[in-house]
Structure 1
């Protein structure tokens, strides 16, 4: 038989076999990440893991993060390790560690003053460091459990949740505590708006509510009570559509709330043990990360319409993250749990069509 004919037959057989496999449903590449598998064909167009940065000798829970965009540095609050790690994002490695802290939770980088603000749960302090030398500049003593932090670039204030119910205001020019807003319980995630009045929205799970704060009067003006869902920790904000995104842990649900009326528009099931949620205004997507081990993407089809478009397995306990809209990157903190290595996973985010 002519050799060219044999080669032709072989090519046809391979092609038919390939089509049969595709028809049989095995048309997706599956990558193993930790103990989970991910359907690459369904998720890679939205969430591409482009880098893994090891965090050697970091034990225990990892909490929140912030970024120095111009300097290409990531700051990580390592609560269980009593440390802050500084990561060079270009080199993909740690370049400095600040140790001897007391359960650091919240962290904020203020580029104008070149300072890093760290909220410590253990002793209720805020430590302020020079971001160039990493030297301690000042310590502010609060009552207890200093937690989530936000920097308001308009007012040049750092807000920090602490104690049995308060938001502290730190003037970044003087590094003095210049005010305090009383709340009805310990604050978890909160969002500050420049467009909406009143302008601060605070998750207060101990009070089973979302408290609405007037930033000018420094007082609560209204409250949105939780109904069928409880333990509201993570929160994000869509200022243009006046929508508040609140994640509850019991049950694991996302509530979309109309800020003007205080009413819940819709609810969606989300990953368990969620601790961070971000709204991507450019791509009209919401990102939720939870300790159950998933990174979830929810599409905003309209102000009142949402649906899940991707759910990528990550790692056990990987519940804290940071989305940076300026770079289109999402940083996910993976703790050293269940034999896995502590690391930062970096994802590139795109619109899911």
Structure 2
């Protein structure tokens, strides 16, 4: 059985288990409102935010659009059309621009965030995917192709570096003060650590199981990498320096995004199994599941906004339910 079939099997089993699981910790995540995405069909991918104006940007991959959502007014205020499987999006506040990574063509397009007009473009290999913006260095990192992370200067719109990888990168995290980058490489069954000065991998941590490590978060204070696996559905916390496993526990199936909130010491995981799981760090090496809140089946893409105490979840159209951005208020124990 190949990896894709194995992922589907474990995702289905995870959904079956979690859909029947009793809700817990509902006080930790309260639905405030649903903002309709009336013209959006198909799969939805990554989300970013203009924090100052509370504008969310949603990569509607299956719809080939980027949706602009005003959180305060609760409505879609714009849309960028003609994209090709948009996956990653980053809002660049210094330049009031957006970068959209297109999975279909590999194009990374720059757009004015106010007018939504195109201002520049860089062509990478196919499958341009996850995006990170480093405000201190004014650089954008984009995972792409069969194994690479491009480094782009946000001011000049030019590629200034490239990290070659053994497989397509999924989620990755930066710590620029130590010049390190950690990246999930599910196609190779590993997590990689790269040196940002040398622009190459300097460490690799491999596992036979679990597999399909897609989302990742970084706990900078404790030097920990937090990874979500799909096969089987499991949360694992690693020492980011050594790769040593610190904690492991089951979680919601088909996870696509996870976040570490340093203030509450809570991990948020959104899964296509139809729920958000919340784990709280209760000791140096233990994380206790304190919440299992049902959302929608297939609603696996999210964005934690700790400054606003919000978790945004993108719910694709399913059956008689239209696509929507679900706005949750976060809490703590």
Using structure 2 for the length normalisation, give the TM-score: 0.92
1:326 alignment partner, SS class: helix
Is the 8 Å Cα contact of residues 36 and 313 (structure 1) preserved in structure 2? Answer: no
Equivalent-residue separation in structure 2 for 1:135 and 1:271 (angstroms): 39
Equivalent-residue separation in structure 2 for 1:238 and 1:334 (angstroms): 27
Higher relative contact order at CA 8 Å, sep ≥6: structure 1 or structure 2?
Answer: 2
Aligned ranges 1:247-258 → 2 under 5 Å: 247-258=228-239
Is the 8 Å Cα contact of residues 198 and 212 (structure 1) preserved in structure 2? Answer: no
Q: Do residues 48 (structure 1) and 30 (structure 2) align?
A: yes
Aligned ranges 1:258-297 → 2 under 5 Å: 258-297=239-278
TM-fit CA distance, 1:38: 7.0
For residue 119 of structure 2, the aligned residue among 137, 146, 154 is 137
Equivalent-residue separation in structure 2 for 1:75 and 1:238 (angstroms): 25
Aligned ranges 1:25-40 → 2 under 5 Å: 39=23
Q: Do residues 75 (structure 1) and 57 (structure 2) align?
A: yes
Is the 8 Å Cα contact of residues 52 and 346 (structure 1) preserved in structure 2? Answer: yes
Equivalent-residue separation in structure 2 for 1:170 and 1:317 (angstroms): 32
Q: Do residues 182 (structure 1) and 164 (structure 2) align?
A: yes
TM-fit CA distance, 1:198: 4.9
> Which residue number corresponds to residue 157 of structure 1?
139
Aligned ranges 1:152-231 → 2 under 5 Å: 152-195=134-177, 197-231=178-212
* Runs of 4+ with >6 A deviation: 35-38
Q: Do residues 345 (structure 1) and 314 (structure 2) align?
A: no
Equivalent-residue separation in structure 1 for 2:66 and 2:21 (angstroms): 31
Equivalent-residue separation in structure 1 for 2:314 and 2:285 (angstroms): 31
Q: Do residues 100 (structure 1) and 82 (structure 2) align?
A: yes
Aligned residues: 315
TM-fit CA distance, 1:37: 9.4
> Which residue number corresponds to residue 12 of structure 2?
none
Is the 8 Å Cα contact of residues 26 and 292 (structure 2) preserved in structure 1? Answer: no
2:129 alignment partner, SS class: coil
TM-aligned CA distance change 1:227 to 1:38, over 3 Å: closer
Equivalent-residue separation in structure 1 for 2:165 and 2:266 (angstroms): 31
Is the 8 Å Cα contact of residues 147 and 168 (structure 2) preserved in structure 1? Answer: yes
TM-fit CA distance, 1:87: 0.6
> Which residue number corresponds to residue 4 of structure 1?
none
TM-fit CA distance, 1:36: 8.2
> Which residue number corresponds to residue 8 of structure 1?
none
Equivalent-residue separation in structure 1 for 2:209 and 2:324 (angstroms): 36
For residue 103 of structure 2, the aligned residue among 107, 121, 136 is 121
- Structure 1: where are the runs of 5+ without partners? 1-34
Equivalent-residue separation in structure 2 for 1:98 and 1:43 (angstroms): 37
Equivalent-residue separation in structure 1 for 2:221 and 2:114 (angstroms): 36
Is the 8 Å Cα contact of residues 277 and 289 (structure 2) preserved in structure 1? Answer: yes
Is the 8 Å Cα contact of residues 316 and 338 (structure 1) preserved in structure 2? Answer: no
**Structure with greater Cα Rg:** 1
Task: Identify which range, 139-148 or 224-233, moves more after superposition.
Answer: 224-233
Equivalent-residue separation in structure 2 for 1:193 and 1:301 (angstroms): 25
TM-fit CA distance, 1:303: 3.1
TM-fit CA distance, 1:179: 1.0
